[in-house]
Amino acid sequence: MPGFELFGDLERKEVNDVLDNGVLMRYGFDGMRNGHWKAKALETELSTTFDTKHVQLVSSGTAAVSVALASAGVGAGDEVIMPTFTFVASFEAIMMLGAIPVLVDIDDTLTLDPKAVEAAITPKTKAVMMVQMCGSMGDLDAVQAICTKHSLIFVEDACQAIGGTYNGKPLGSIGDLGCFSFDFVKTITCGEGGAVITNNKDYYINADHYSDHGHDHVGNDRGAETHPFLGYNFRISELNAAVGLAQVKRLPEFIAIQKRNYTILRDAIAQIPEVTFRTVPEGGEESYAFLNFFLPDLESARKVSKAFKEHGIDVCFHYYDNNWHYVRKWEHLKTQKSLFPLSSEIKKGLENLQHQTFEQSDHFIGRNISCLIKMSWTVDEVNERASKMVDAIKTSI
């Protein structure tokens, strides 16, 4: 991770094919494109990769979350349960629909704690969104059982976990809807792009229409298409899809490289008694995009994070002090800073967040270091990095 590290001839071929053909838009212009449909071809490939019936490409992972929720009928005043540890896009995508993000604690999987999910359910709850942060998953069976019990929509945000599996099934394919990001720093990149996947045909049709101004995509004359309902523009371009089409064919190669590099690093630091690792539920296999480990306490984690920087060990993150990925620094959400007036329902739903505490999440994120796994590293470079990490940890705790 990320896929741009290994751009090659296959990506260039697919992009040049679009440029030579001249049609950059994914819909219409049938006569000009001479049978070239990169977005359609990528959706077919992803359907196989994710073992799912339906795939709708969109413009980003953020768009994927909004489109997925909208496709299932989530909207104004509905509550969507989400984790405290994620990217800011999670609550942005929820609020864009007029829905209310309800933040709950994570556990040692670094994803939703099922007990916290159950405790947060109210009559307004419409959906639960598990975010598979840093390449791994939470207790999907437990969360799915809660959703079934309370008739809630179960959404998997697998934007950071493409290639991971749970009981042999690809992450993203287990819930009612799955969401993926193919932005510039993901394992598979389109530059910008995302996807909604589902086995529910109605959700898929809704996503197909909603992401393209409500177009029904019936027939071959775009100007004659009807609009069964309101939609917006979350389309992906053929250029972006072309890059993704090349990359998805290389996913097994990418995962194998990530696993090799991840394993070398993990085996090295596992020899340090004070280091423990995130819990991966039984039956789960990470995508190996990140190596996540815990130190004894917050002070140790801060010292190790500082030592990593001093030793030139890059792309390792202590999210407790991060502006983008943990609730602690989301002041713009807590104080409801918006360019436009928020609805009274959202304002009321967020009013307690400014003073709300998440001790359990602090306990895990405060002690966690998350290291991105690059695919461009040679084996010698990974071994050297492992040695530096061990030294930095030992001298810091």
Which residues are annotated as catalytic?
186
Total residues found in the chain within this entry: 397
Dihedral angle computed from the Cα positions of residues 108, 113, 371 and 91, in that order, rounded to the nearest 10 degrees? -160
- Angle at which helix 9-21 crosses helix 38-49, to 10 degrees, equals 140
3-state secondary structure of 193: coil
3-state percent helix, strand, coil for the chain, nearest multiple of 5: 40, 15, 40
Distance of CA 77 to the CA centre of its chain: 24
Whether 274 and 296 have beta carbons less than 8 Å apart is answered as yes
To the nearest 10°, the Cα dihedral for 177, 104, 185, 233?
50
Number of helices followed by number of strands (H, E) in the chain: 15, 14
Q: How far apart are CA 371 and CA 376, in angstroms?
A: 15
DSSP H/E element including 345: helix 344-350
> What is the distance between the alpha carbons of residues 255 and 267, in angstroms, rounded to a whole number?
18
For residue 74, give both structure tokens: 């989530």
The H or E element spanning position 291 is strand 290-294
* Residue 228, CA distances (Å) to 214, 218, 225, 233, 265 in order: 6, 11, 10, 15, 52
